[in-house]
Amino acid sequence: MKALLTLIVALGILPAPVSFERADGTSTTKDVEVVVGKRPFTRWCASLPDFAKKEAYRLTITPKRIRIEANTPEGVYRAETTLGQLEYPYPCGVIVDYPRFPWRGIMLDISRHFRDKEFILKQIDALSEVKLNVLHLHLTDAAGWRLEVKSHPELTAKAAWRVGDTWREWDTTGKRYEGSYGGFLSQEDVREIVAYAARHHMTVVPEIEMPGHSRETVYAIPGVGCREFSDDLCPGKEATFQLLEEVLAEVMDLFPSEYIHIGGDEAGKRHWHDCPDCQRRMQEEGLKNVEELQSYLVRRIERFLNAHGRRLIGWDEILEGGLSPNATVMSWRGTEGGLEAIRQGHDAVMTPGNRCYLDKVQDAPVREPEGWGGYLPIDSIYVYDPAAGIPEASLGHLLGVQGNLWHELIPQPSHTEYMLYPRAFAIAEIGWSPLEVKDADDFRERATAHAAALRERGYTTFKLEEEVGNRPASREAENHLGRGAKVAYARPWHRNYPAARAATLTDGNLGGWSYGDGRWQGFLSDVDVTIDLGSEKPVHYVTATFLAAPGAGVYLPDRVTVEYSVDGEHYLLAGELLNENPDGKYIPFGVSVGKDARYIRYHAFRTKEWLFTDEILIY
Ligand code: ACM
Ligand code: ZN
């Protein structure tokens, strides 16, 4: 994209047509002069870090010719990509360009819903042309094993096919595997994907999950779980390590990537506490707790990968119980895991959920397909700076940034594309462009146009020009009688969702589309609060909005009562409201009062798990 240009000196317009095609490693034309590894370009970028030198280029367009100078074929490719995005007639000038970070990735979860070779090749085209250079494939998870493994054909024979095509159907079915929904990549498919990606200067990083998210492995391979059915592998059993090493040996043969992702997230470790093999392992190895037992597994796997010249990367849970010596951390539960890894002298890739999780809806949830927990518009991604909070001297440990597209709620391939584009462009620009040239309005314009160009080429994309944006009520503070009033909580808010703490419900700030945006207060109880207006006032109406996100366990109350009082001791019921809209998403529960009062008690009764509200509005 054009934003990926750091310097343009206008020299006019190139007069003659140049028959240049998109860069895919297969064609350049005689009208474009390419110079690789020659001075003075090499000298000019001598001060750049090695990764930037590799991709740096200088593109010179004069009225007579186009000239590309780069240190490597990869640099030439980046220049050709830029050229392919300029519109004819090309603006004459000099573009000097190189990336901010070496790791600019997108993760596709092809376990929850399988995506085939053709689909992946198509995404490599679109992702590489915005200079993304890592395609991370989440190949294994409870929902399906997606990679042919010659030494263990049972993995795909038994666990690449499941019962129930949608997530909820599958997840609640007792007999889950050996159904007819699914698929997997053959080793031939993988070789083709890897070679295609290499021609587009993308690295395919494979992820083989361990020890959690492994229900399918335990199902397919008897003897690698603590029990017959388990979500986690058993780190106490040698059979587990034998399986993992045999699988990883094939993975390393297929994927030339320096990094092999071993997952590591969200292991429940439930059965490790009473599994005799796990307990014996802990005793023999002097491991104090199950976190150290996971760390034992990760360290052993790291030794195996390192012995084969590869590096281990895993989700930030691999910090728990002690990070293995050479591991790289992919920080997803916020940025803290990545920052901690860097403090410990390790490398990190930033993929914090609130900025990089593309499974969140990108526009008003009331008009989007259901997303997995939250609202993440493109603007919020674009302004993210992965280097925030990292001391200058440690920046070399920050490899870069990645967008993750989990697929629990994304059955259709077109839906995958819809979630990716244009938000992947924002991830690309975080990874490539220096902070100084970033411009949100300009990006928006280019992203809108580039998404339209992708649609012309048969991709499904979100249309930025039709974006509704954040919840209208959240855009300006709301004035009401209770604004600034003191709130007494009969039940406390949950510590994970404090919003503005005791000020939340009367600060005038209404929540946006996401319960996690810091404006919604979360309760694992009834919401039972009393607002003190300071003096007696005529009160007409009291209302509060609740949001529902059933996928995240957030539900509407089943009823609300509003009481009022003059003295704070004797309360009278103003009204009771039953929820008559059980499938609603952002529902106000309001009650007419029509009395003079100083105290208002608002009580919302919880039905299942969470309640979230943002403001008690009093008029
Ligand atoms: C993750 O989202 N569980 C890495
Ligand atoms: Zn065990």
pLDDT tens digits for range 405-460: 999 999 999 999 999 999 999 999 999 999 999 999 999 999 999 999 999 999 99
| Helix pair 423-432, 117-128: axis angle to 10 deg | 50
Q: Is the CB of 184 under 6 A from ligand 1?
A: no
Q: Is 308 a catalytic residue?
A: no
* Ligand 1 pocket test, candidate residues 406, 407, 409, most atoms within 8 A of CB: 406
Residue 546 has a pLDDT of: 97
CA 295 to CA 262: how far, in whole Å?
12
Q: Is the CB of 265 under 6 A from ligand 1?
A: yes
pLDDT tens for each residue of 487-518: 999 999 999 999 999 999 999 999 999 999 99
How many angstroms separate the alpha carbon of residue 238 from the centre of ligand 1?
27
Residue 9 has a pLDDT of: 40
Residue 37 has a pLDDT of: 73
* Ligand 1 pocket test, candidate residues 108, 266, 317, 331, most atoms within 8 A of CB: 266
Locate the ligand 1 atom nearest the alpha carbon of residue 263 and give its number. 4
Name the active-site residue from 245, 266, 292, 385.
Answer: 266
Q: CA torsion sign, 125 to 402 to 249 to 239?
A: negative
Whether the predicted model's global pTM rises above the 0.85 cut = yes
Locate the ligand 1 atom nearest the alpha carbon of residue 404 and give its number. 2
Report the C-alpha dihedral over residues 580, 582, 587, 589, rounded to 10 degrees: 40
Q: Is the CB of 315 under 6 A from ligand 1?
A: yes
Residue 582 has a pLDDT of: 85
Angle among Cα 491, 493, 499 to the nearest 5 degrees reads: 150
Low-confidence ranges of the chain (pLDDT < 50): 1-17, 19, 21-30
Secondary structure string (H, E, C) spanning 240-270: HHHHHHHHHHHHHHHCCCCEEEEECCCCCCH
Q: Is 266 a catalytic residue?
A: yes
Q: Can you read off the two tokens belonging to residue 568?
A: 């704070």
Residue 31 has a pLDDT of: 61
Q: Is 213 a catalytic residue?
A: yes
| Chain Cα centroid distance, residue 175 | 30
CA 618 to CA 429: how far, in whole Å?
44
CA 109 to CA 115: how far, in whole Å?
9
How many angstroms separate the alpha carbon of residue 178 from the centre of ligand 2?
25
* Ligand 1 pocket test, candidate residues 109, 265, 331, most atoms within 8 A of CB: 265
Whether 541 contacts 590, CB under 8 Å: yes
What residues have CB less than 8 Å from 541, skipping those under 6 apart? Answer: 590, 591, 592, 593, 618, 619
Q: Is the CB of 101 under 6 A from ligand 1?
A: no
Nearest CA to ligand 1 atom 3: 265
Whether 23 contacts 84, CB under 8 Å: yes
Residue 40 has a pLDDT of: 65
Q: Can you read off the two tokens belonging to residue 607?
A: 């039905």
Q: Is the CB of 332 under 6 A from ligand 1?
A: yes
